[in-house]
Amino acid sequence: MQSQRRLEILRAIVDEYVATQEPVGSKAIADKTSLGLSPATIRNEMAVLEDEGLITHPHTSAGRIPTDLGYRVFVDKLATVKPMSSAERRAIETFLDEANNLDQLMKRSAKLLADLTKQVAVITYPITGEGAGSEKMTISGTANLARSGEDLGTSLSPILEALEEQVVLLRLLGDANDTVKVRIGGEQSESNLRQTSLVTVGYGAAESPVGALGILGPTRMDYAGSMAAVSAVARYVGRYITEGPQ
């Protein structure tokens, strides 16, 4: 069981590693947080976090980075989804209000989501006028993966190949509901995507979503910001689907 102090140290490690892409040492945590702990105390707590499998040290570095399990604990216990500011919400609505039809709205929504999160964005939506279960998909931001090359290494090509398979993407978003869901690293069902994390949510009617959207990127991502962006765009798209253009 993690103590609250160790959880706060884990939060600091995740925040610093996401921001800098550099392994995090005890001195950096002591200097950049208000925990009021000495580097020696932080080192002791980091040793426990490492024993618990929440952080690890790459190669010979003295610093530590989060493991998939560490990210999971961070998302479940520590990540605070900050509501977007009214200015950010207005910017989203202004950009999406310029869409003239459903196809255009979805393409603009995917681009917006990719731009907001700096990840790959995928949206599925129903094809109007066709049988139940018929749906389209739009994807944006695959170039963002190339900019994450240092995180993904040799995994980049298999990830891009997986994203080209529509059936894979449909499966990834297939179980989305009105609660934001985060799959991290090894939790991914697709073997080629186990160096990535996926944040998804359904939109439309609360009990029976008509579509889903999500973002995919390296496990070193801004989870709180990504969850907030996914939620905000899903709310707007869901309103459009259920109420029509405003």
Give helix 223-243 / helix 102-117 axis angle, nearest 10°: 170
Q: Classify domain 86-243 by CATH number.
A: 3.30.450.40
Identify any residues that bridge with 120 across adjacent strands, giving them in sequence order: 216
| In the chain, where the domains are located | 4-78, 86-243
pLDDT tens over the chain, length 246 residues: 468 889 999 999 999 999 988 899 999 999 888 888 898 999 999 999 999 999 998 876 678 999 999 999 999 987 777 777 888 888 888 888 888 888 899 999 999 999 999 999 999 988 766 555 678 899 999 989 887 767 777 778 888 888 888 888 888 888 888 889 999 999 998 888 988 999 999 998 766 788 899 999 999 999 999 999 999 999 888 888 777 655
Structure-token pair, residue 90:
């207005």
Amino acid at position 55, single letter: I
Tokens 């090509």 label which residue?
157
Q: Count CB-CB contacts under 10 A for residue 239.
A: 16
Q: How far apart are CA 124 and CA 203, in angstroms?
A: 10
**Residue 6 backbone phi and psi in degrees, to 5:** -65, -35
Q: Is the pTM of this model over 0.95?
A: no
Q: Which fold has domain 4-78?
A: Arc Repressor Mutant, subunit A (1.10.10)
Q: Which residue intervals of the chain are DSSP H helices?
A: 4-20, 26-32, 39-51, 68-73, 86-97, 102-117, 142-146, 149-152, 156-164, 166-173, 223-243
